[in-house]
Structure 1
Amino acid sequence: MGCSSCSTGKDGQPKGCKNNGTCGTDGCNKLTVFDWLSDVELPGGQKAFDCVEVRFKNSRKEFFRNTEQLTLSIGDIVATEASPGHDIGMVTLTGELVRVQMKKKNTDPASKEIPKVYRKASQKDIDVWQAAREREDAMKVKARQIAIRLKLKMKISDIEFQGDASKAVFYYTAEERVDFRQLIKEFAYEFKTRIEMRQIGFRQEAARLGGIGSCGRELCCSTWLTDFRTVKTSAARYQQLSLNPLKLAGQCGKLKCCLNYELDTYLEALKDFPRQDQKLTTQKGDAVCQKIDIFKGKLWYAYEKEYNNWIELDTDAVKEILKAQREKNPVASLEEFTSEIPVEKAEFSNAFGQDSLTRFDKPKRKKPKNKRKSNKHKKSKKNNANS
């Protein structure tokens, strides 16, 4: 968590606003953009950009045109155009950086289809919005019960109310096409509002629900990652990872997004390595690559029909062998290029008795001798001496 009010408490829950990243201070939100042009004044005669960026429920952002010339700043709650009615959101960006964001999202700033900002939200608008959001959790439980009763192969992951509480969007995931005509009828009868069903992917579902990854930290998609790039199994192969689906898959069931984080570095390092599918031709025979170590710059080769005997080579040696191979002057054998470095054994001294297994045990107490038995033994000795 980024802000002080949302910092983690003793039990792992946010000790401040308890909104799991959607606090009013806007410091721990993954969709927040730093406005580094906020203190820079526009040149004389230039008008400010008339579009603003508005965030809704920490999951989506949209662009709106400020036709009323309202004085808006980051953090303002505004009422925006929706179909039907209006929606309530928070302004996340204003000024020239909005133009950059629109270009990044392939949105035309001159388009007439950009919706409008109606006004700054009044207290009544905020009260209706908050009351609608408080209904979402209870509705989610009831909606899942109805879907299970109708035996639909789908999972309702989240519900988002429109700002004026006139419509509710149900986000769901499904592997196949779902006929939810009867489901919408029952939802409309049960919740007394307009219903919209919106299908999302499994990665978007994991971003909405959140969780803890195998690294022990919060999921990247629910904290800072805003776009989902394609992750292929070749990313795991380039990084010499075992193709184990249980280890490579995230909570969404897809390949982990973090497989792409270091992929470019591995691809850059592999440029110095020769092709692994290329055989090394020597006078002793052809050798095939069995394994590589990117960090150490080593390759292991084995002669054909002698796959149990691996020979370690560095990249420079392999390049030299390939050069001789191209010149049709193959080397005698791979063993000529192996460099065996003797491993020095470390000697440990027992200066403080650290290798003793009983150094932490309590010393045993000596048993006191039985005085009666010792006296009897002395008397028997005296009697034997007198006799």
Structure 2
Amino acid sequence: MALVAQERTNVVGVRFQKLGKLYHFKVGRQHDDVEPGDYVIVETKRGRQLGQIISFIDPQEMHRQRGMRAIERRANPRDMVMKQVWEAKELDALISCREKAASMKIRDAKFVKAEYSFDGSWLTFHYTTENKKLDIGNLQQTLGRQFRTKVEMRLIGPRDVAKIMGGYGACGAPRCCSTFLTEFSPISIRMAKAQGISLSPQEITGMCGRLRCCLVYEYEQYVEARKTLPKPGKRVGTPHGEGKVRDVRVLRDSVLVHVNGEYFEVFRHELEPLDELEALKKKAEAGCSKHDGGGCDCGAKRGPVKTDEDEDGKENA
């Protein structure tokens, strides 16, 4: 279905790489018939780029977007051929970059990818390093003269390196980052704790040396499920008697309870929260602290309840 022209609301998400981020661009009236899957030419900070329209953006999100650029034009067959021609030269460019870096004794940087713009006007080398003070300005200038184009050196992190290199994860499946992930989510150690996963580095770190991306997939479900189950150390009533919770088994919707020297798995519907019930009982026995005396209908009065006879006695006195 073609995108209908609407003032200040025609925005599309454009992707420049297979699993890259979506960038938003406006659609002018002259291009209001574009559809997802179409290739377009847009102007970016890195010059003119060829990208593919992935989706239309909800007009309600337009208040968040400022300074968006417009689509320049549709990509034509010549643009697509140029893109293929320059992509075929990327491997040779990467090899040449590595050789030049070695001759200049730049050993702290690992160059993992060379990327040409669709028309060859821009060449980007992706590299990683742990040396924050590494200066590769001379290498950049040398490569610029060699390839006769604008050269950019882009520092990337371990996750991006794993995404580019591909391979298989510890689960035996292709890495998520190189298969379907377009952005990296923040991940913390508490996500592993909430899911009861061993905190040993071998269990929670990926091939990139960072916390595994998959830790975030079911984290919210575990958090919500734990809210309905008692925490370890809580006193509970069970069909086997009173005991204390020793472990929470979220996926089974149950807990492991220690009762009279034995351990039993008890499901949520079989549990009685003794601590909470005793707290409510004490509160009821203590009476109402806000309405001490008469006139309170909360059902828990403190002290003797005043009656009409008490009031008559006071008046006679």
TM over 0.5: yes
Whether the 8 Å CA contact 2:231–2:245 is kept in 1: the answer is no
Which residue, out of 166, 171, 174, partners 2:129? 174
CA distance in 2, matches of 1:291, 1:310: 14
Structure 1 position 159, deviation (Å): 2.3
CA distance in 1 between counterparts of 2:76 and 2:68 reads 23
The aligned amino acid for 2:61 is: K
- 2:203 aligned with 1:218, yes or no? no
Matched, 1:65 2:26: yes
SS in 2 for 1:69: helix
Q: Say whether residues 1:298 and 2:255 are aligned partners.
A: yes
- DSSP-derived class of the 2:127 partner: strand
* Secondary structure of the corresponding residue to residue 221 of structure 2: helix
Describe the shift of the 1:277–1:78 C-alpha distance in structure 2 as closer, same or farther (beyond 3 A): same
Partners of 2:81 and 2:87 lie apart in 1 by 10
Whether the aligned pair in 2 keeps the contact of 1:125 and 1:164 (CA below 8 Å) is: yes
Matches within 5 A, 1:155-194: 155-177=110-132, 178-194=134-150
In structure 1, give the amino acid aligned to 2:230. Answer: P
Structure with the greater alpha carbon radius of gyration: 1
1:134 to 2:88 alignment: yes
Which residue is 2:50 aligned to? Answer: 88
2:7, 2:275 → 1: CA distance?
Answer: 67
d(CA) in 2 for partners of 1:51, 1:222: 27
**CA distance in structure 2 between the aligned counterparts of 1:202 and 1:161, rounded to whole angstroms:** 22
Structure 2 letter corresponding to 1:124: R
CA offsets per residue over residues 163-186 of structure 1, 9 Å max, x none?
221111222223341321122123
Q: Is the 8 A contact 2:229 2:253 kept in 1?
A: no
Partner secondary structure for residue 30 of structure 2: coil
Deviates more, 1:194-203 or 1:314-323: 314-323
Task: Report how far residue 289 of structure 1 moved.
Answer: 5.4
User: Number of paired residues?
Assistant: 269
Distance 1:114 1:317 in 2: 56
Match of 2:274 in 1: 320
Question: Is contact 1:68-1:118 (8 Å) kept?
Answer: no
Question: How many angstroms apart in 2 are the aligned matches of 1:290 and 1:107?
Answer: 48
Tell me which amino acid in the other structure corresponds to 1:62.
Y
Sort the Cα spacing of 1:278 and 1:161 in 2 relative to 1 into closer, same or farther, 3 A.
same
**Does 1:54 pair with 2:14?**
yes
Change (3 A) 1:167 1:273: same
Measure how far apart 1:74 and its partner are: 2.9
Give 3-state SS (helix, strand or coil) of 1:75's partner.
coil
- After TM superposition, the structure 1 stretch with the greater mean CA deviation from structure 2, 217-226 or 63-72, is 63-72
State yes or no: 1:229 paired with 2:188.
no
1:103 equivalent among 58, 61, 64: 61
Cα 1:229–1:118 change in 2 (3 A) is closer
Q: 1:160 to 1:99 in 2, by over 3 A?
A: farther
TM-score, structure 1 normalization:
0.59
Sequence identity percentage: 27
Higher strand share: 2
Residue 268 of structure 1: which of 224, 231, 256 is its match?
224
Residue 128 of structure 1 deviates from its aligned partner by: 2.6
- 1:289–1:302 Cα contact (<8 Å) kept: no
The residue type equivalent to 2:157 in the other structure is G
The 3-state SS of whatever aligns with 2:14 is: strand
Gaps in structure 1 of 5+ consecutive residues: 1-37, 281-286, 304-308, 329-387
Q: Give structure 2 stretches of 5+ with no counterpart.
A: 237-242, 283-317
Partners of 2:271 and 2:23 lie apart in 1 by 57
TM-fit CA distance, 1:288: 7.1
**Partners of 2:129 and 2:16 in 1: how far apart?**
24
Kindly state the Cα deviation for residue 107 of structure 1 after the two structures are TM-superposed.
Answer: 4.5
Q: Work out whether residues 50 and 69 of structure 1, in 8 Å CA contact, stay in contact via their aligned partners in 2.
A: no
Partner secondary structure for residue 273 of structure 2: helix
Cα shift at 1:69: 0.9
Higher helix share: 2
| 2:313 aligned residue | none
Aligned to 1:114: 68
For the Cα contact (< 8 Å) 2:246–2:255, is it kept in 1? no
